[in-house]
Chain A
Amino acid sequence: MAMQLKVNRIVTGTKIPHPCGDPNLPTEADRALRRAIIQCSLSALQREVKGPTLFVPDVTFTSG
């Protein structure tokens, strides 16, 4: 949807109710996930893009 709205830099988040973390994970794992998503976002800001570009954090999204 963000691609269709022509957003320049898009970072894949976790889930609609909690895009930047996962309350189902143990605290430490949630913290690592949140950190990975934010770091991915910060590095996305430093990249030159031509049109909508998707950035995928190096995490697994299969927890639900």
Chain B
Amino acid sequence: MKLEIATFFVKNVRFSNETRYDSGVLEINKEELVRLVLEDKRVLSADLDVAFPGEKTRIVKLRDAVEPRVKVVGPGCLFPGILGPVETVGAGKNHRLSGVTVMLSAEYVPTILSGTAAQSSGIVDMWGSTAQLTPFGSTINVILMINLVDGVTELEAHGAMQLAELKVAQRLATTTIEKAPDDIEVFELSKTDPSLPRIVYVAAASITWQSPHSGLAYYGLPVRESLPTLMHPNEFLDGAITKDVRIGNGSRPTTWSWMSPAVILELLRQHGKQLTFLGVILQRTRFETEFGKQVTAACTSQMARLLGADGIVSTRISTSGNNFMDMMLTVQACERKGIKTVFITPEWGGKNGDELPLVYYVPEATSMISTGSFERDVMMPKPEKVIGVGNCQFVQLYAGDKLYAPASEFTLPASFCLLDGVDCLGRLNLTCEQY
């Protein structure tokens, strides 16, 4: 399976009479895209705006973000199971617009009003230190703002919002068809020197089984009581993994993060050079019994051993301590089978960094990478402009939380209030130095 990705860099975005791409400039016909979104009768109203890095702009009521990408040579399509029929993806050719995202700022009338299955939203700042806490402070963001009609169920709301977002992103990427790209990268798990270390990536997927959508979907199918699933890394680049877009909370990676997964891209680029990349195990986590946790750890480690892995790199999503235990037990099970592990994870640590960083540990976890604490306060300075759907005088980030006034200065209790504000997949490059 060979996947070619042609990149078109976007240096500027502006609204115009025509939707087109030329020499780094993306022009958008707002009316055309609004019409495209309103084809879905579940969408009541739609609008677009753009935010640029460095501007004192705050974007609110965010649910998700996605990179404009389109499949120009099949099989299948981008986001199989959602934008088209289910067909095994990961081969052919894609076009992508780099440096630009489509962000979804959306409102609907929720029917789940409390608990972990309730909808939530995130914030993105385009300037200052808060812009560095998410991947989206350094991209040009096309914000799609939509309102849904009354009477949609929670699952319909997810479906309608996701479809609108993905359709707009795909439409923007189609502007590059027949154009010459700035860069082409080929991803393939070709035959390698057998002496290279053999590596498997374990992507843990914490799911919310009691929610209308479990939180994460494989080819559009919400992952529920699943045992570990073996995937080709290229499938991720084709959007085979998507998320519940009702949940904008930063502890859940966006679709953008899943389609540009940092660990997968790096392992693919090192394949045949430093290592042999064997594949990805998508591991459903957050089992609620000790028994379930032991089963998923045993199954994942056995799958890695059967693949002939010398080592695994693992990540987890969500700030759940429950899901963290599953991953620690997986590290233990792999090490006991003779497979070396590196576990990449965000940590707790409290407001001042003097509390326990991990809620559970095993002695076998001797090699870990921290992507930072998600429990620190985030000071949000006063913006000059606020972008978001509807009335943005006050926003509530999750059910039961207090209201914030986005146009003013305030303090957020944790980085998970920002869209993709918890670095679950090892994406961000903020570092610290011990002295």
Residues in chain A within 8 A of chain B (CB atoms): 1, 4, 12, 14-17, 61-62, 64
Contacts and interface: CB of A to CB of B under 8 A. Distances in A.
A16 B322 contact: yes
A16 B208 CA distance: 13
Contacts of B292: 64
Nearest to B361: A4
A61 B288 contact: no
A17 B291 CA distance: 14
Given A1-B360, A4-B360, A4-B361, A64 B325 contact: no
Contacts of B291: 61-62
Interface of B: 288-292, 322, 325, 359-361
B325 A15 contact: no
Nearest to A3: B360
A15 B289 CA distance: 5
A15 B361 contact: no
A54 B86 CA distance: 48
A36 to B, nearest CB: 16
Contacts of A61: 289-291
B355 to A, nearest CB: 14
A17 B288 contact: yes
Contacts of A12: 290
Contacts of B322: 16
Contacts of A4: 360-361
Contacts of A64: 289, 292
A62 B287 CA distance: 13
15 contacts: A1-B325, A1-B360, A4-B360, A4-B361, A12-B290, A14-B289, A15-B288, A15-B289, A16-B288, A16-B322, A17-B288, A61-B290, A61-B291, A64-B289, A64-B292
A1 B359 contact: yes
